[in-house]
């Protein structure tokens, strides 16, 4: 596996996230090269459509969760073999290609990797070289699903849709668009209409499509694209809570927590219902007479999507403390941070009420990529969304301690983070404390407008400036964990609820350190 990882590493051509892939080709050119690569692999894109039953899902937020729900629902509805392609991964690259809900084994990964690698290498020409990292892993995903003869291939778009490497299927069974918002605006456009148009690039002639409720500007753009592209229909899915329940069942339980998951699950139900009606597999119904079936409910409840709303107890057998609970969520956009913050406050409120509110504390471990605006990410974290507010700490939302921790993984260092200087993290801490200072000073909860757009790099490396600075620190993940565990052991009547958020890479680092590999 190490050799395979090293080879894959050679396909990461640039360190910058939005750098041009595939030897400097434009995104359009690079996308078109995916079709050539499929030919070189002996599986033209016609074959991908003929040999795979694909559910293709795009969106700004919730596309991964929706994909995971789809896979789980169909597995529980009787799909003998499921394939799920997602990105990015948290700990191991294998997570991106799942068979029957489990990451592909190292053995199979290596076996298929070499088949794909060797074929592509043998067919390189001066015009057609090796594909870049994401394109390669996408090609490999399709290759694996074809060779494994999966009944369904649920495919999550990597970025955008129209010219994403996954968009090489002429005729998916059904397409879905999860919640739309502002992200990757440098590549997708600076209005919701433009972003929606890029995402709707996965729509295909004669193929049905579903979307969740969207802002009108986005919905209008989706409708226009649907008619331009001649989709069979574009329908809006509802919340999973809108469905009736079968006899013997009193509620829908979702395996991925958070109120925001109801819309993702609703979209997944619509996609799976349409899939099940259109394919020649003997699947049990997903919805029957307007009610979710027991199989569907099981699929929703048993769905697992690590790093999103994941709750893990610390492990005392492995140096941990039994009174620590980690809440791991890779939110990294304003919308997802709002969902994450509401989920965390709700979950810890229940946990704090279950014990004694005064005996619990909320701690934060945070980092985000440098292309994010921490001002807008911090705002929902510092706002009380109707929970109990403070847990003993003095802040608006009541984090008793906050740590700004550098990334550990090599994946993130490849994305341009300098491991040795902590200027970025000190800057994050400075902004965090400044916002808290303003909030405490009676100027609201501290927002982008109030603060201006200060950036960590410009705010200097001095750390906090407000009275709350003593409760925030910059240190390594390991040092933060050590401080946390020592404190927890010394205060063993307290329950410590630790939110880890800001980046999926940080969540991946934690899962690796906690030895909870997905
Ligand atoms: N419908 C939603 N609206 C807003 N935020 C959401 C929604 N669904 C999930 N999220 C948040 O987004 C984060 C990522 O969820 P998910 O993996 O489903 O989305 P994604 O579209 O694949 O995003 P990405 O892979 O870019 O993080 C979650 O941690 C959660 O906080």
**Does 87 carry a binding-site annotation?**
yes
**Confidence (pTM):** 0.88
Tell me the two tokens of residue 60: 């700004």
**Does 26 carry a binding-site annotation?**
no
**All structural domains of the chain with their residue ranges:** 1-12+19-302, 310-386+395-434+470-514
Q: Strand runs (DSSP E) across 304-398, as ranges?
A: 310-313, 324-329, 360-366
What are the pLDDT tens digits along the chain (518 aa)?
888 988 988 888 644 444 444 555 678 888 999 999 999 999 877 788 889 999 999 999 999 999 999 999 999 999 999 999 999 999 999 999 999 999 999 999 999 999 999 999 999 988 888 999 999 999 999 999 999 999 999 999 999 999 999 999 999 999 999 999 887 887 888 899 999 999 999 999 999 999 999 999 999 999 999 999 999 999 999 999 999 999 889 899 999 998 899 999 999 999 999 999 999 898 999 999 999 999 999 999 999 999 999 999 999 988 899 999 999 999 999 989 999 999 999 888 876 766 665 678 999 999 999 989 999 999 999 888 875 444 433 334 578 999 999 988 654 443 444 456 788 999 999 999 998 876 555 433 333 222 333 445 444 333 333 334 458 999 989 899 999 999 999 999 999 999 999 999 999 999 999 888 87
In 10 A of CB 185, how many CB atoms?
11
Q: Residue 22 has what pLDDT?
A: 56
Closest CA to 152 of 84, 242, 246, 218: 84
Distance (Å, whole) CA 143 – CA 168: 12
Closest CA to 266 of 294, 236, 288: 236
Helix (H, G, I), strand (E, B) or coil at 358: helix
- Exposure string of 257-267, with b = 16+ CB inside 10 Å and e = fewer, is bbebbbbbbbb
Q: Residue 448 has what pLDDT?
A: 26
The reply to whether CATH 3.40.1190.10 applies to domain 1-12+19-302 is: yes
CB of 374 closer than 6 angstroms to any ligand 1 atom: no
Q: Which atom of ligand 1 is nearest to the CA of 340?
A: 31
Tell me the two tokens of residue 385: 């969304």
**Could you tell me which CATH class the domain 310-386+395-434+470-514 is placed in?**
alpha beta
Q: Using the 8-state DSSP alphabet, how is residue 283 labeled?
A: P
CB of 64 closer than 6 angstroms to any ligand 1 atom: yes
ipTM: 0.98
Q: Distance, CA 269 to ligand 1 centroid (Å)?
A: 17
Q: Distance, CA 429 to ligand 1 centroid (Å)?
A: 25
Q: Distance, CA 259 to ligand 1 centroid (Å)?
A: 12
**Does 329 carry a binding-site annotation?**
yes
Q: Which atom of ligand 1 is nearest to the CA of 87?
A: 25
């Amino acid at each position: 596996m190490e050799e395979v990882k090293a080879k894959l590493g050679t396909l990461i051509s640039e360190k910058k996230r939005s750098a041009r892939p595939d030897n400097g080709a434009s995104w359009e050119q690079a996308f078109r090269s995916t079709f050539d690569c499929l030919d070189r692999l002996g599986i033209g894109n016609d074959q991908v459509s003929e040999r795979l039953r694909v559910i293709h899902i795009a969106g700004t937020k919730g596309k991964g969760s929706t994909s995971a729900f789809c896979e789980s629902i169909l597995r529980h509805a009787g799909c003998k073999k499921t394939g799920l392609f997602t990105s990015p991964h948290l700990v191991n690259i294998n997570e991106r290609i799942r068979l029957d809900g489990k990451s592909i084994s190292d053995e199979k990964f290596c076996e298929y990797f070499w088949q794909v690698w060797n074929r592509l290498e043998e067919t390189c020409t001066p015009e057609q070289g090796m594909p870049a990292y994401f394109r390669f892993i996408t090609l490999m995903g399709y290759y694996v699903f074809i060779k494994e003869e999966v009944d369904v291939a649920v495919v999550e778009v990597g970025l955008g849709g129209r010219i994403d490497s996954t968009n090489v299927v002429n005729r998916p069974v059904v397409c879905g668009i999860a919640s739309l918002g502002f992200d990757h605006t440098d590549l997708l456009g600076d209005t919701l209409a433009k972003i929606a148009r890029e995402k709707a690039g996965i729509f295909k002639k004669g193929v049905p499509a579903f979307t969740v409720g969207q802002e009108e500007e986005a919905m209008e753009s989706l409708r226009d694209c649907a008619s331009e592209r001649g989709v069979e229909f574009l329908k809006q899915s509802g919340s999973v809570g809108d469905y009736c329940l079968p006899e013997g069942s009193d509620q829908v339980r979702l395996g991925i927590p958070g109120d925001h998951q109801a819309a993702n699950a609703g979209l997944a139900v619509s996609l799976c219902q349409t899939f099940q009606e259109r394919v020649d597999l003997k699947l049990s119904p997903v919805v029957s007479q307007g009610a979710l079936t027991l199989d569907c409910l099981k699929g929703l409840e048993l769905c697992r999507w690590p790093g999103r709303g994941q709750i893990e107890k610390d492990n005392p057998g492995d140096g941990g403390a039994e009174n620590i609970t980690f809440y791991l969520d890779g939110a990294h956009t304003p919308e997802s941070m709002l969902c994450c913050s509401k989920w965390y406050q709700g979950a810890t409120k229940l946990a704090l009420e279950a014990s004694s509110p005064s005996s619990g504390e909320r701690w934060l471990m945070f980092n985000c990529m440098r292309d994010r605006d921490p001002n807008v990410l911090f705002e929902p974290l510092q706002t009380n969304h109707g929970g109990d507010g403070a847990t003993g700490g003095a802040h608006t939302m009541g984090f008793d301690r906050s740590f700004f921790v550098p990334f550990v993984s090599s994946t993130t260092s490849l994305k341009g983070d300098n491991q040795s200087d902590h200027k970025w993290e000190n800057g994050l801490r400075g902004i965090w404390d400044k916002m808290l200072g303003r909030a405490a000073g009676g100027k609201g909860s501290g927002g982008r407008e109030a603060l201006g757009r200060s950036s960590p790099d410009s705010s200097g490396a001095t750390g906090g400036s407000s009275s709350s600075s003593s409760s925030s620190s910059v240190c390594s993940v390991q040092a933060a964990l050590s401080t946390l565990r020592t404190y927890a052991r010394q205060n063993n009547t307290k329950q410590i609820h630790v939110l880890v958020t800001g980046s999926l890479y940080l969540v991946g680092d934690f899962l690796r350190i906690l030895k909870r590999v997905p």
